């Protein structure tokens, strides 16, 4: 009996994870082709990437430092996706949160750490929530498609924050577009000295768990998933769809804003024009690999953190292009978005032999 339960659990896990896993393997294959074209052995490169990522305490810290912003952005995209929403505005929401946190961190003075830091973090979350909520308002009020409005808001926010850090809030004497350095009382402490790994990672982990519980155990989570699976049925059941859209987008935006806040308050200590390494866009790949699950987005972010950190370390000692990680991220989304191709591969005979399906015996009288 216990063995049957174990097999059933493993099969259930496989059914939910098989498409993202195969999509990731296919993306690795595409990345390997790019590496081979560059004149390197892809097997050697992948081995070096994973080996170097865990070769020292400092490198391990780099893995989790790279993963931290991806956790926030991955969870942010996953929450919106569960409600059937496509939030392509994570980058703009992240930038708005980063700018507000930078200004609150720099210009609020005389406050103790226990007050100043939460204000700066909360300010970043609220800025992201406002930017995300604006998309929901446009969708609910005017029927605007979020795919278009989020992309346009990305550009608007990027131009706005660039103007602010190059104009009225430009640091005195700076030749680059950046704000003043934040106060010590607004800084997120680093777990390991001389690394970029901060305690913000624990906030991301906690949020991943809490939002998983929200989706599985709460009335709001149930409504979000019903809307995501069948919008017409949700409306027929009397669910206030517009309200849930607003909450989902605001929550998604708040998480993206926290991504920006974590980078400013824990790593950069100021807003620098163009500082983002496409953290918002990378969240789409992270969430796609996690099958749009908040908790598994944390694990997915760590995997991409390994690739990014390992590739950066390898790039310092060789000419292997670290951009192949971006190629992998992009193709994860492409392959996850092509379920028919994935299903065709999964139905291949060689794969069925590896994962045999349990046949249910036919009842007496059933036609053959």
What is the torsional sign of CA 267, 273, 279, 280? positive
What is the torsional sign of CA 35, 302, 294, 189? negative
Assign 188 to helix, strand or coil.
coil
State the average pLDDT for the chain: 90
What is the residue-wise DSSP string for 94-112?
Answer: HHHHHHHHHHHHHH--S--
**For residue 132, what are the CA distances in angstroms to 106, 129, 217, 219, 237?**
25, 5, 24, 22, 26
Q: What is the mean pLDDT of residues 331-355?
A: 69
Q: Which domain holds residue 178?
A: 16-354
- Res. 6 pLDDT band, cuts 50 70 90: low
In a domain, 10, yes or no: no
% of residues, the chain, pLDDT over 70: 88
In a domain, 360, yes or no: no
**pLDDT single digits (tens) 17-60:** 777 888 888 899 988 998 898 899 999 999 999 999 999 999 99
At 255, list the tokens: 């998480």
Q: What does the alpha-carbon distance between residue 59 and residue 308 come to, in Å, rounded to a whole number?
A: 11
Q: How many CA atoms lie within 13 A of 290 on its CB side?
A: 32
Q: What is the mean pLDDT of residues 323-333?
A: 86
- Res. 4 pLDDT band, cuts 50 70 90: low
In a domain, 150, yes or no: yes
In a domain, 365, yes or no: no
Residue closest to 225 by CA, chosen among 208, 239, 205, 206: 239
In a domain, 129, yes or no: yes
Residue closest to 335 by CA, chosen among 84, 21, 13, 85: 21
**pLDDT single digits (tens) 130-146:** 999 999 999 999 999 99
Residue closest to 99 by CA, chosen among 273, 288, 242: 273
Residue 206 sits in a domain of what CATH number? 1.10.3470
pLDDT at 253 over 80: yes
pLDDT at 111 over 60: yes
Please tell me the predicted confidence (pLDDT) of residue 363.
47
In a domain, 213, yes or no: yes
**pLDDT single digits (tens) 237-248:** 999 999 999 999
In a domain, 4, yes or no: no
Please tell me the predicted confidence (pLDDT) of residue 114.
97
Question: Could you give the number of structural domains in the chain?
Answer: 1
In a domain, 191, yes or no: yes
**pLDDT single digits (tens) 348-368:** 655 555 555 544 444 444 444
Please tell me the predicted confidence (pLDDT) of residue 359.
47
């Amino acid at each position: 009996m216990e063995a049957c339960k174990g097999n059933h659990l493993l099969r259930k896990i496989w059914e939910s994870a098989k498409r993202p896993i195969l999509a990731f393997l296919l993306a690795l294959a595409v990345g390997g082709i790019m590496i081979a074209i560059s004149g390197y052995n892809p097997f050697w490169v992948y081995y070096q990437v994973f080996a170097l990522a865990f070769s020292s305490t400092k490198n391990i810290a780099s893995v989790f430092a790279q993963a931290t912003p991806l956790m926030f952005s991955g969870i942010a995209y996953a929450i919106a996706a569960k409600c059937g929403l496509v939030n392509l505005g994570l980058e703009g929401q992240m930038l708005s949160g980063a700018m507000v946190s930078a200004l609150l961190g720099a210009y609020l003075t005389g406050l103790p750490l226990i007050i100043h830091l939460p204000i700066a973090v909360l300010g970043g979350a609220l800025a992201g929530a406002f930017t995300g909520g604006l998309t929901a308002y446009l969708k609910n009020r005017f029927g605007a498609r979020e795919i278009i409005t989020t992309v346009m808001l990305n550009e608007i926010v990027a131009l706005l924050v660039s103007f602010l850090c190059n104009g009225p809030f430009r640091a005195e004497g700076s030749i680059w577009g950046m704000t003043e350095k934040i106060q010590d009382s607004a800084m997120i402490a680093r777990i390991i000295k001389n690394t970029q790994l901060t305690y913000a990672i624990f906030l991301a982990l906690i949020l991943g768990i809490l939002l998983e519980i929200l989706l599985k155990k709460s009335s709001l989570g149930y409504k979000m998933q019903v809307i995501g699976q069948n919008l017409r049925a949700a409306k027929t059941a009397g669910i206030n769809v517009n309200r849930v859209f607003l909450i989902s987008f605001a929550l998604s935006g708040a998480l993206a804003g926290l991504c920006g806040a974590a980078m400013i308050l824990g790593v950069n200590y100021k807003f620098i024009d163009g500082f983002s390494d496409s953290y918002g866009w990378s969240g789409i790949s992270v969430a796609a690999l996690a099958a749009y699950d908040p908790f598994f987005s944390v694990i997915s972010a760590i995997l991409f953190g390994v690739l990014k950190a390992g590739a950066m370390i390898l790039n310092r000692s060789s000419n292997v292009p670290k951009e192949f990680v971006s190629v992998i991220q992009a193709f994860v989304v492409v392959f996850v978005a092509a379920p028919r191709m994935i299903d065709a591969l999964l139905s291949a005979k060689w794969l069925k032999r590896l994962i045999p399906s349990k046949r249910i015996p036919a009842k007496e009288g059933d036609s053959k």
